[in-house]
Amino acid sequence: MIDSDDVLPILPRELTTISDEVRHVPAPAIPQIAAPYAARLADPDSDAELVSEWMNLPHLAQAWEYDWPPERWRLYLKAQLAGTFSRPFITSRKGEQIGYIELYRAAKDSIATRYDADPYDLGMHAAIADTKLVNRGIAPLIMPKLLADLFAAEPQCRRVMFDPDHRNLGARRLVEYVGCTFLGEHQMSNRRMALYVFPRTPDDIPEHR
C-alpha cells in the first residue's frame, strides 16, 4: 500500500502517451530463476537501505548513476510497485542476496521511441552487487538461464531489450556474448544508449528508428 503522505517520484523513463493496448499490459511477472539462483520482489521498507548501499558501491554508482540515499530508494521502489511499468527484484544465490534487477515493459519506456516495440516486450536492468562475484563469470552464466525463464513466464513476450550506456563496455560485451542483436546507438534526453534485443525467435528482431 502507498501511504498518503508519500510523494512518489515520477519514473523518468515511463511514457505518458501510450495506446490503450500498451496501457492494459500487466506489470512484468516475477522471474522463476533456476536454482541455486532466485528472485523476489523488492520491499520498499525493508530493502531500500540495502539497495542504496549497493548502488553507492563504486562499480554500480558509475554504471547506474543511482547512488541515492535510502529514503529516495524507498520512494522509487514504491513508485515502481504502484504501477504496471516496471518491477524491482532482489536476486540471490544459494540463499545469499547478491543483486538487483529491474524488469520493465519496453513499450511503456522511452526506448520504445527508438525501435518497433511490441506491447509485451520486456526490458531489463541488472546489477551484481556482491563484489566477490563481479567479473567472475557469473553474469554470462546466469543471463541465458534468466532469459529462458522470462520467456517461459511471459508467453506473449517476443523480446527482451537492453539499453546500456554506450560507454559501458562491460554490459555491452555481456549482452553481445549471450547473443543479443545490436540496434544501434541512440541519443536520449540525458544519455547516449546502445540498444540491444534478445528475440524469442529470429523473426522477432525489430526494426530500429
pLDDT tens-digit map of 99-126: 999 999 999 999 999 999 999 999 999 9
Burial of 57 (0-12, 13-18, 19+ CB in 10 A): middle
> What is the model's pLDDT at position 96?
93
Cell of 113: 521511441
pLDDT at 3 over 60: no
> Which residues are registered as beta bridge partners of 186?
193
Average pLDDT, the chain: 91
List the CATH code of the domain at 30-158: 3.40.630.30
Q: How confident is the model at residue 2 (pLDDT cuts 50, 70, 90)?
A: very low
What is residue 109's DSSP assignment? B
- pLDDT digit string, tens, across residues 132-167: 766 666 788 888 989 999 999 999 999 999 999 999
8 A C-beta contact, residue 128 and residue 134: yes
- pLDDT digit string, tens, across residues 84-94: 999 999 999 89
pLDDT at 203 over 50: yes
User: What residues act catalytically?
Assistant: 163
Give the residue among 69, 77, 109 at the shortest CA–CA distance from 8.
Answer: 77
8 A C-beta contact, residue 124 and residue 161: yes
- pLDDT digit string, tens, across residues 169-186: 989 999 999 999 999 999
| pTM for the structure as a whole | 0.91
pLDDT at 51 over 90: yes
* Rounded mean pLDDT, 37-65: 94
Q: How many CB atoms lie within 10 A of CB 209?
A: 12
pLDDT at 6 over 80: no
Q: What whole-number distance in Å separates Cα of residue 161 and Cα of residue 87?
A: 15
| Domain range list for the chain | 30-158
